[in-house]
Amino acid sequence: MTQKWWRGAVIYQIYPRSFYDSTGNGIGDLPGITEKLDYIAALGVDGIWLSPFFTSPMKDYGYDVADYCDVDPLFGTLDDFRALLDKAHGLGLKIIIDQVMSHTSDQHPWFAESRLNRHNPKADWYVWADPRPDGNPPNNWQSIFGGPSWEFDMHRGQYYLRNFLKEQPDLNLGNPVVQDAILEASSFWLDMGVDGFRLDALNLGIHDPELRDNPVNPDPTPAFFNIDFPTPYTMQRHVYDMSHPDMYPFLRKIRALLDRYEGDRMSVAEIGGDECIATCAAYTKTDDLLHTAYNFTLLSGKTPSASYIRSAVEEIRSMSDTSWPSWALSNHDVVRVATRWGGAQRDNPDLTKMLIAMLTSIYGTTFLYQGDELGLPEAELEHKDLQDPWGLYLYPKWQGRDGCRTPMPWVGGAPHAGFSQADTTWLPVDPRHDLLAADRQEKDPSSALHFTRAFLGWRKSCPALITGNITFHDADDDKILLFTRDAPDQSVLCAYNMSENAKDVTIPQSIDGKIGAESLFESNLSGRYQDEILSLPPFGIAFLPLTS
């Protein structure tokens, strides 16, 4: 996959703090990741996305960047990153890294200068606005992490915009000079050899210049994350504080920068908000914009169903048949999918196997979060162990994002499940994760880990599942997902039983006569087809060839 390697790729996300601690300080690091690269390559993935490891005060655990061009000492050095990059490339793995372009830390030198007064060279590098006559913020915008999106600064006598923590002031990406500075920092990593960027919260980067109030949201129940209660943020429709049309010239600058480098460097944007699928389609519609984008639709708390998954894929396809989407079921921001979608079946390895097969078979690029190959459920933490500022704000309604960020379990029965030799780790290991440790699953041929390796290995020989077109088919049961993937030399019927009960599925007449009875991929979950009926075991799957 030397050209457009990212189309149909499976990319493994690593949250560096929690992957592997090589120094014994209780926090994962870059040398620890390098040590485990053989494990990742053996999964059969095509690349790695590294969450931030840049210099940071760690108020939001790396998403508050204080230096875009250096490694925080907690994680190692620039030479450690170069060693990681070299070994990954030697194993055939691409490396993409987070670029946080919409905001910085308040400890970044740019902000320190910007806040001094209203006339310095970087005075307009961040978003500043005067108070209302009564001293209140300029408008009604609300921060995702709680409180108004504005923080008053005594130095300037103005408010600055912050969509997250008060320690994360928003850059003024409408300023071309700021755009150039961000792109220069990005060039630093491209020159080093990274294969692309995951662009954090990108559609928050430019907003309504008139700072108009957001309208009321008539249905404030959140659609995403695992929050099932209204917050001030969800009580608004986010019309004016994100996804502004002025973002497109900057997107073209990002693409032009990437296109200047050899090796098919890529960009994947994180897109949130009320119209996230439409924004994903718009940001990737033409070859001068971003390569791909993902949204939170399949990362939501909704229970899985064929109609839910189908509607997400078909919606973006209907909006732009030229856009290439990306999908994930878990990441560092949401409750792990085994818990979120599994419910009482969260500890069933067959659920994990079905979800991995489904995720990596739908049309687009897919992201597999660390530990999902082990079927890790959401960790349960006590209040005293919480670190996530968002979780501390929402507690006890929700423990926040720490439950998906706990250390990776490597060795069952070892201290901290083999993650670290420290006395304590930055987050504790859930005892249930110890039972699912990688070494335990290595010894069990029926484990989720072995299935992931076998399936992703087979997938590499199946071009229809990588770049083929997708057509969904109706089934009588909404727990049965059916679609075909069609490439020039191969067509495959894909079927998934999202239920813990066995199901018999009547195959639609439009494709029944074209199905070959022999399964292309065999596992303990494989269904059997005979006389128009596909029999699927609990959480069963089937991949059957189609003739023309």
Q: 217 and 251 share a domain?
A: yes
Per-residue pLDDT band for 1 (boundaries 50, 70, 90) equals very low
Q: 405 and 480 share a domain?
A: no
Q: What is the CATH number of the domain that holds 519?
A: 2.60.40.1180
pLDDT above 50: residue 164 = yes
Q: 352 and 252 share a domain?
A: yes
C-alpha dist (Å) from residue 466 to 127, 208, 263, 331, 469: 42, 39, 19, 22, 9
Q: 366 and 504 share a domain?
A: no
Give pLDDT, residue 221: 79
Give pLDDT, residue 510: 87
Give pLDDT, residue 75: 98
Structural tokens at position 252? 């073209």
- 258 inside domain: yes
CB 411 within 8 A of CB 418: yes
Number of domains in the chain: 2
Considering 457, 483, 512, which residue would you say is the last residue of a domain?
457
The boundaries of the domain holding residue 209 are 10-101+176-457
Kindly provide the b/e burial profile for residues 452-490, where b requires at least 16 CB atoms within 10 angstroms of the residue's own CB: bbbbbebbeebbbbbebebbbbebebebbbbbbbeeeeb
- Cis peptide before 396, with omega less than 30 degrees from 0? yes
**Between residues 510 and 473, the one the model is more confident about:** 473
Using CA atoms of 96, 101, 106, 108 in order, give the dihedral in degrees to the nearest 10. Answer: 70
Percentage of the chain beyond pLDDT 90 is 92
- 286 inside domain: yes
Which residues carry out catalysis?
200, 270
Per-residue pLDDT band for 227 (boundaries 50, 70, 90) equals confident
pLDDT tens profile 334-371? 999 999 999 999 999 999 999 999 999 999 999 999 99
pLDDT tens profile 289-313? 999 999 999 998 778 899 999 999 9
- 166 inside domain: no
pLDDT tens profile 127-143? 999 999 999 999 999 99
Considering 434, 457, 480, which residue would you say is the last residue of a domain?
457
pLDDT above 50: residue 21 = yes
pLDDT tens profile 199-223? 999 999 999 999 999 999 998 877 6
Per-residue pLDDT band for 224 (boundaries 50, 70, 90) equals low
